[in-house]
Amino acid sequence: MRRTLLLIVAALVLGLGCGKSGRNPLLKEFATPFGVPPFAEIKEDHFLPAIEEGIRQHSKEIDVIAQNPEEPTFANTLEAMELSGQLLTRVGRVFSNLNSANTNEQLQAIAKQVAPLMSKHGDDILLNEKLFGRIKTLYEQRDILELTDEQRRLLQETYLDFVRGGANLNEEQKARLRQINEELSLLTLQFGENILKEDNAFSLVIDDEADLAGLPAVVKETAAEEAAKRGLQGKWVFTLHHPSLIPFLQYAEKRDLREKMFKAYSMRGDNNNELDNKKIVSRIASLRVERANLLGYPTHAHFQLERNMAKNPANVYELLDRLWKPALNSARAEAKKMQALIKAEGHSFALQPWDWWYYAEKVKQAEYSLDEEQLRPYFKLENVIQGVFDVAGRLYGIQFVERTDLPVYHPEVKTFEVQEADGSHIGILYTDYFPRASKRGGAWMSALREQSNIGGDRRTPIITNCGNFAKPTAEKPSLLSLDEVETLFHEFGHALHGLLSNCTYPSLSGTSVAVDFVELPSQIMENWALHPEVLKLYARHYETGEPMPDELIAKIEKSSRFNQGFATVEYLAASLLDMDWHTLADTTAQDPIVFEKRSLDRIGLIPEIISRYRTPYFRHIFAGGYSAGYYSYIWAEVLDADAFEAFKENGLFDSATARAFRTHILAAGGTDDPMELYKKFRGKEPEIKPLLVRRGLTGR
């Protein structure tokens, strides 16, 4: 995820629009506390004129740098570039956030209009011969220039940006590269929009209460409220949003309805309708191969991985293949237990993917006396948030002060000022945790402003955390599942990476690191989420305020490796599918369903499990920044499992260990090679054994 300001701007093509002159609030510095966006003043019509003005200003700034008659220096070239494009970046970040978290048809139309403009603008910069000439001169002189380590890193990475952006191509090749980039920008945008519409298009309406058999009361209450919102009094509505889908798959006794819900989810983008993504996928894959070949790489994966810790596809496959066999063996054993339970109930059907969640829950209750619904009352959203704040406070000496005076883009959004222990300002955190039709699925962190400190002009970060967690009902507050608790801690880890950044240049700050390193700060936070010592801090019953009983905490700990075969296999299947798509070496059009089947058959995926993401709705790789990069979660888990061993050895909240992690990982951004940063923290390279132990994959 490390990128220069140029690539930040280019990346915003996936969701970027702009504003208008006159009274357009986007065209001036935001006169708000801490410079947060004045959301109430910003209208959709402001975005397009603002992006056009941002492009004009940025183009002019770049031209001045490129045409400078003076010899290139770090200050008049690299640093000047870092300071350029501020209007465009500011507007783009606001738009990107809104288009993900609170979109509408007008914003989506603007995004499509702006995508080719932004693609062209990014190419205009990266293919600017005079600008590249100045950068190349500095790069060739890098060993004799008096640069700090961070400046040297910025020079190296910026030079690579231009080379990888086509600076060394001939004119004919450059023209073709522009065409490819423009088409890709529109295709990836359309892919994501189609999935959002598919998510919202389906609903399961139940009018017979008998069909709700097995569902917990809170799940039925939520479904009744959703029906009432739609004017369907006396009925129940279930959607494809995870807080509705997963409990239904876990508890609904009606097998035919579980199948209907599961297939609706797993067939998104594959319904041969106007929202079908198969042709889009095939075209994206072909264009990525062509672009990689044009730039001198055998495959898109080689192009993507060059800057990652993994370096090349062979290293990724080596890790995934090493984990696949023991994970598959675990999953087979889990499936065998479930099939035995099905038989014991007097059924003759074979376990299917829509049965897995249901029978896994039954096995968990039988083996561990643990029911997910026993836990929800102890995971009130507000308590979990306070819990993660307390963990960060004890680790890093920081505090979170809720602000009710800052503008927000939706009534459900909350804002917090992040401060050091002495009250000094660090940054602003926005939290937005409930699903809605205007919001894409999943959970994510983003930055409305990245931290920087060029010439002593310190800009503090403005970070967002978004999720799609269980909403409160008229009877109960938002009560989270175990998975939602871990997801909240995960995204908060990304937020800390952005908030605690202490870099000079925005292109290297915060989460601007390799994609297989960026998940370390997020995944390590999950280790605290369900740790017995931490659960005692925040897991309190929403009605009585009583802490979670030791007996229940012990059950959570005992069941921590339950269903890990399934979890690992469905994830690895998606990671291998991603790699197969992006190690294609020619542009031959693929039938995505045939290709997917061939990929999954090759690794022997059992029929009871499907890939976590099927090709037609694999947003991470076809509409996000994780193409040839979905493996990064498990790669980073090797790092986080090893890193957490340091806390286990020295103390869960050991101040020296936490200070080292903050200094060398969270604050350092992309200022050094990721492995070097890790070794500065840990004193050695990571070992894989802690990961294997955690997932119960040893000795198989």
Q: Retrieve residue 90's tokens.
A: 């500011």
**Per the residue annotation, which of 157, 491, 570, 608 is the catalytic one?**
491
Residue 592 is encoded by which pair of tokens?
């995505």
Q: Which amino acid is at 652?
A: L
No. of H helices and E strands in the chain?
28, 9
**3-state SS class at 465:** strand
Classify residue 615 by its DSSP letter: G
- The set of residues, in sequence order, having a beta carbon less than 8 Å from that of 450 and lying 6+ positions away, is 459, 461, 498, 501, 506, 509, 510, 512
394-402: long-range pairs with CB below 8 Å, 24+: 394/653, 395/653, 395/658, 395/661, 395/662, 396/496, 396/500, 396/658, 396/662, 396/666, 397/421, 398/426, 398/500, 400/429
Q: What is the helix (H) or strand (E) element at residue 426, kind and residue range?
A: strand 425-432
Structure tokens at 214: 């097995």
Pure H helices in 12-85: 47-66, 80-83
The bridge status of strand 457-459 relative to strand 414-420 is: unpaired
DSSP strand pairing (444-449 vs 462-466): antiparallel
Find, among 107, 82, 100, 103, the residue nearest to 18 by Cα.
107
- Amino acid identity of residue 185, one-letter, is S
Residue 637's nearest CA partner among 572, 574, 577, 550 is 572
Please report, as a single letter, which amino acid is at residue 657: T
Give phi and psi for 499, each to the nearest 5.
-70, -40
How many CB atoms are located within 10 Å of the residue 456 CB? 6
Instruction: Assess contact for 614 and 270: CB atoms under 8 A.
Output: yes
What whole-number distance in Å separates Cα of residue 428 and Cα of residue 430?
A: 7
Helix (H) or strand (E) holding 419, with range, is: strand 414-420
Instruction: Identify whether 491 is a catalytic site residue.
Output: yes
Angle between helices 129-140 and 149-164 (to 10 degrees): 140
The number of beta carbons lying within 10 Å of the beta carbon of residue 206 is 21
Cβ within 8 Å of residue 456, ≥6 positions away: none
Q: In the beta sheet, which residues pair with residue 449? A: 462
Using DSSP, state whether 544 is helix, strand or coil. coil
Write phi, then psi, for 487 (nearest 5 degrees). -65, -40
Angle (nearest 5°) at CA 280 between 276 and 285: 140
Find the helix packing angle between 632-650 and 313-344, rounded to 10°: 80
Q: Are 84 and 65 in contact, with CB atoms under 8 Å apart?
A: yes
Give the 3-state secondary structure of residue 604. coil
- List the structure tokens of 268: 């998104």
With CA atoms as reference, report the closest residue to 502 among 687, 667, 688.
667
Query: DSSP letter string over 550-585?
Result: HHHHHHHHHTTTTTHHHHHHHHHHHHHHHHHHHT--
CA nearest neighbour of 631 among 370, 173, 314, 172: 314
Catalytic residues: 491
